[in-house]
Amino acid sequence: CKEATCATNQTFPNYFKFGVATASYQVEGAWNEDGKGENIWDHLCHTNPDFVDDRSNGDIACDSYHKYKDDVAMLKDLGVDFYRFSLSWSRLIPLGLAGSPVNQAGIDYYKNLIQELVNNNIEPLVTIFHWDLPETLQEYGGFPNPESEEHFAYYARVVFENFGDSVKYWLTFNEPLQTCHEGYGIGFTAPGYKSSGLAEYKCTHTLIKAHARAYHVYDEEFRTQQQGYVGIAPDTYWYEPASGSVSDQEAAERALQFTYGWFANPIFNGNYPSVMIERIDERSKLQGFASSRLPKFTDEEVEYIKGTHDFLAINAYSTLYVQAKEEEVDTAVISYDSDLNVDTFFDDSWEESASSWLRVVPWGMRKLLNWLSKTYNHPEIFITENGVSDTGGLNDDRRINYYREYLSNVLEAILDDGVNVTRYTAWSLMDNFEWARGYTEKYGLYSVNFDDPGRPRTSKASASYYSSVISSKCLVDNCE
């Protein structure tokens, strides 16, 4: 495979980097070891086990806290250029609060992991927050509480200070849309609040300010010495207009602005997308609110937030068709969905995965990359997550097809459309705790036996496929 001759239109540029991703709560386990504090996923799983389909939790997960050397050996076998993993806030700062004690054992764990990566020539790409908020901070209200900006800034400083010598690529937040919309809006993820159109807007407001704060902390205190790069990883579907009608096209653009643009527009251009501001202001007024449910950034905040990115990151898995919807007459309905007001659906012919929200639509990736490039003025783009679920098994041909087809669309975006994509990250290195779906949906290139206390890992067919893509930089068809 390594010698495979590859057509130019099948070959990734030399500078292109491949990686895989995981997240702390999904893989680490050791939920109460060595001084780690409780986080909102520990709390939710322990107090409300029915929240998770198979009543499982991340107490042990893949046991990466003890088996990180095995993980790095897998990364080495894959031949990845980088490993994207996240830090557990409550492992590092058990209470999460600004000024509260730092847990040295937590620092040591990540230092060891990073050292092991560096020894094996694998670059760390670190997510500072991937959903596992310290429970104490949730008791203070979580991200809807404006104080959380201060707590996050403290956390980010601890992290840059301790790991910034070796870590040059940082993501402040993974999928802020899910933290706020699913966490505080519709309650699909921890902490499970249902305050759509209200607390969820307060959540994003503070989260965006917290991102900007962390970026400035890096700029002012660490950048000169550490010379790294900081971004954020929002997620979105590609939203394809269901017809050529102007109203469907507007609806699709509105959906992109209400998901990706909600975060990227403030960070790239200084404020929420105007379509969000206008619609939510107007609907709030009709509903009798004295001021908009979407909080306002002051002029100083706009300036402070604008430009707090060194690259653009995107987590993308799938596509939805979008249709314009009659404007709601019932002004009593307060929700993000009614503020957005579109109908979305999958095409029946699109291949299913094990996740109800994910259908296989490779061409959506190319369209999305083009939209991002055009909308945000041709930035450097990192794909920080992309992948597909099944229900298990080592002969995961459908995962191989998914990666081949999606990567082929990434390549077309680069070679034919001139989009500046420089990194691709497969989700995930190994099967892990899939949040509310527990261990029922598998995304790994490696399988993990969760019935065995040793949590042995076994490579799937997709692992050898991906490693041959990496070593050849080519979309090889068959690799034995």
Taking CB under 6 A as the criterion, the residue among 70, 385, 390, 431 binding ligand GBH is: 385
Tell which one of 16, 188, 289, 350 touches ligand GBH (CB under 6 A): 188
Active site residue 385: yes
User: Which of 39, 138, 172, 174 is the binder for ligand GBH (CB under 6 A)?
Assistant: 174
For 32-73, the DSSP string reads TSTTPPPBHHHHHHHH-GGGSTTS--SSSTT-HHHHHHHHHH
48-77: which residues touch ligand GBH (CB under 6 A)? none
CA contacts within 13 A on the Cβ side of 328: 21
Is 436 a binding residue for ligand GBH by CB under 6 A? The answer is: yes
Binding mask 337-356 for ligand GBH (x = CB under 6 A): -------------------x
Is 402 a binding residue for ligand GBH by CB under 6 A? The answer is no
Stretch that binds ligand GBH, among 174-182, 294-302, 391-399, 454-462 (CB under 6 A): 174-182
> In angstroms, what is the minimal distance from the CB of 181 to ligand GBH?
9
Cα separation, 91 vs 112, whole angstroms: 14
To the nearest whole angstrom, how small is the minimum distance from the Cβ of residue 182 to ligand GBH? Answer: 6
The SS3 assignment for 223 reads helix
Nearer to ligand GBH, 144 or 234 (CB): 234
65 close to 75: Cβ distance less than 8 angstroms: no
Residue 306 CB, nearest approach to ligand GBH (Å): 26
Distances (CA, A) of 28 to 21, 109, 171: 13, 11, 19
**Active-site hit among 38, 175, 240, 441:** 175
- Least CB distance to ligand GBH at residue 173 (A): 11
Question: Do 173 and 129 touch, CB atoms closer than 8 A?
Answer: yes
Q: How far is the C-alpha of 465 from the C-alpha of 96, rounded, in Å?
A: 41
236, 376 Cβ separation under 8 angstroms: no
Q: How many CB atoms lie within 10 A of CB 270?
A: 17
Please report whether residue 195 would count as binding ligand GBH according to CB under 6 A: no
* Under rule CB under 6 A, residue 427 binds ligand GBH: yes
Q: Which of 158, 192, 165 is nearest to 178 (CA)?
A: 192
Amino acid identity at 390:
D
> Least distance in Å: CB of 12 to ligand GBH?
23
Which residues in 240-299 contact ligand GBH (CB under 6 A)?
none
Minimum CB separation of residue 190 from ligand GBH in Å reads: 12
Tokens encoding 432: 């892990």
Q: Which stretch binds ligand GBH (CB under 6 A): 171-179, 210-218, 303-311, 398-406?
A: 171-179
Stretch that binds ligand GBH, among 94-102, 110-118, 170-178, 454-462 (CB under 6 A): 170-178
463 or 475: whose CB is closer to ligand GBH? Answer: 463
Annotated catalytic residue 351? no
Residue pair 465/403 in contact (Cβ under 8 Å)? The answer is yes
Terminus-to-terminus CA distance in the chain, angstroms?
Answer: 8
Q: Report DSSP state, residue 134.
A: B
Q: Which of 443, 446, 465, 466 touches ligand GBH (CB under 6 A)?
A: 443
CA distance readout (Å), 29 to 42, 59, 68, 88, 180: 10, 5, 11, 11, 24
Taking the C-alpha atoms of residue 367 and residue 176, their distance in angstroms, rounded to an integer, is 22
> Residue 189 corresponds to which amino acid?
T
CB within 8 A of 260, min separation 6: which ones?
Answer: 177, 234, 235, 236, 314, 372
Q: How many residues bind ligand GBH (CB under 6 A)?
A: 14
Structure tokens, 329: 């007459």
Which of these is catalytic: 38, 200, 385, 412?
385
Candidates 200, 235, 390, 396; binder of ligand GBH (CB under 6 A) is 235
> Shortest Cβ distance from residue 356 to ligand GBH (Å)?
6
Q: Collapsing DSSP states into helix, strand and coil, what is residue 427? A: strand
Name the segment binding ligand GBH (CB under 6 A); options: 48-56, 173-181, 198-206, 342-350.
173-181
Q: How far is the CB of 473 from ligand GBH (least distance, A)?
A: 26
Q: Verify binding: residue 23, ligand GBH, rule CB under 6 A.
A: yes
Kindly state the smallest distance separating residue 433's Cβ from ligand GBH, in Å. Answer: 8
CA distance 99 to 95: 10
Q: Which of 219, 307, 357, 449 binds ligand GBH (CB under 6 A)?
A: 357
Strands (E), 195-264: 229-233, 238-241
> Residue 383, exposed/middle/buried by CB under 10 A (0-12, 13-18, 19+)?
buried
Q: Does 390 bind ligand GBH (CB under 6 A)?
A: no
Residue 434 contacts ligand GBH per CB under 6 A: yes
For 354, residues 6+ apart whose C-beta sits below 8 A from its C-beta are 389, 390, 391, 440, 441, 442
Does 190 contact ligand GBH by CB under 6 A?
A: no
Q: Which of residues 302-321 bind ligand GBH (CB under 6 A)?
A: 315
Among positions 175, 253, 390, 431, the unique one binding ligand GBH when judged by CB under 6 A: 175
Tell me which residues touch ligand GBH (CB under 6 A).
Answer: 23, 174-175, 178, 188, 235, 315, 356-357, 385, 427, 434, 436, 443
Active site residues: 175, 385
